[in-house]
Amino acid sequence: MEIKKFSDFCEQVLPDFNKFLDDRLKSEIKQTTLRDAMLYSLDAGGKRVRPMLFLAVAYSSGVRFEDLSKYFDIAGAIELVHTYSLIHDDLPEMDNSDYRRGKLSNHKQFGVGPAVLAGDGLLTQAFYWIAKSSLDTDKRMAAVRILSHNAGPMGMVAGQMTDITMEDKLLSEDELTTLHKQKTADLITAAVTTGAFCAGHELSTNLVQYANDIGLAFQLKDDLNDADDGEDADKNTFPNLIGKKATEEKLNNLVKDAFNAVLKEEEFDKNLLVSFLDYFKE
Ligand code: GRG
């Protein structure tokens, strides 16, 4: 395995992957307002954590670097689903955010109707990309199954529903963990597990454990960052429920557990996934 650091991996893959996303949507979407609104959020400076994790797992499972572009449709589908979720999350009837990644949110730029449709378009296009991928049928089916299971009403959509309907209630630690697991961790878990499936690597409980741990850790880090910025004071977050220090401890424990889990993974190069854990130290 030549590339050992997650940041180096991203640096080498991202230019081609970003071009792929742009070219593909530009060639497929003919309705210009829809295309502009979809591309606006897809190109708004997201970190691409989920597709890079998917590709890193495929690479760590033995896919050659020069073959990674065959996996771009599925990596892209994961990013399309993530982008749709952010557009819809920002809507006035959801989190009501005017800004995302330092730019106007999609509905502030294009209006609520177009933003809803841009999200709808990204979500459905994701499954078109998976169906059109050149990977074997069983791999494409696994990608559809895992992504729809984790991003839909059994995962992310359920978490979002709890979030918007329980806003005024104080959640218990268990309820909050379930909410975060569904809303944030399930899509990250999907990126990791789909990467293993698509690369023909047998999925183990260790890799699932790693994925779940980093998924929850991702939300805790985001909550801690927001707490530092003085945001989310009245929301159901771990820093509000158990305090900042206990949240930091919980985050550190999740990162340690993820590290121990991935080290147990057999016939798999661990370097990239261990190196990804640096994300939580920044
Ligand atoms: C609308 C069905 C539906 C779901 C929305 C993703 C989501 C569910 C809500 C976002 C709430 C939020 C900010 C959660 C914290 C963790 C998170 C998902 C952060 C954003 O992901 P990043 O940091 O974003 O990967 P970038 O901008 O880099 O793509």
pLDDT digits 0-9 by tens, 233-250: 788 899 999 999 999 999
89 lines ligand 1 (CB under 6 A): yes
Tokens in use for 247?
A: 């949240």
Q: Is residue 1 part of a domain?
A: no
219 lines ligand 1 (CB under 6 A): yes
Q: How far is the CA of 207 from the centre of ligand 1 (A)?
A: 22
**254-268: average pLDDT:** 93
Q: Is residue 168 part of a domain?
A: yes
Tokens in use for 126?
A: 């994701």
pLDDT digits 0-9 by tens, 105-155: 999 999 999 999 999 999 999 999 999 999 999 999 999 999 999 999 999
Q: Is residue 34 part of a domain?
A: yes
Distance, in Å, from the CA atom of 232 to the CA atom of 240, rounded to the nearest integer, reads: 8
Q: How far is the CA of 86 from the centre of ligand 1 (A)?
A: 6
Q: Is residue 177 part of a domain?
A: yes
Task: Name the domain count of the chain.
Answer: 1
Q: Is residue 188 part of a domain?
A: yes
* Ligand 1 atom closest to residue 218's alpha carbon, by position in its atom list: 16
* Ligand 1 atom closest to residue 49's alpha carbon, by position in its atom list: 25
Q: Is residue 199 part of a domain?
A: yes
* Ligand 1 atom closest to residue 119's alpha carbon, by position in its atom list: 1
Measure CA 267 to chain center. Answer: 25
CATH number at residue 29: 1.10.600.10
Atom 23 (ligand 1) nearest CA: 47
Stated as kind and residue range, the H or E segment containing 150 is: helix 137-151
Task: Give the global pTM.
Answer: 0.97
Q: How far is the CA of 82 from the centre of ligand 1 (A)?
A: 7
**240-261: average pLDDT:** 96
| pLDDT beyond 90 at 173 | yes
184 lines ligand 1 (CB under 6 A): yes
Q: How far is the CA of 278 from the centre of ligand 1 (A)?
A: 20
pLDDT for res 118: 98
Domain that holds residue 42: 6-281
Distance, in Å, from the CA atom of 26 to the CA atom of 29, rounded to the nearest integer, reads: 6
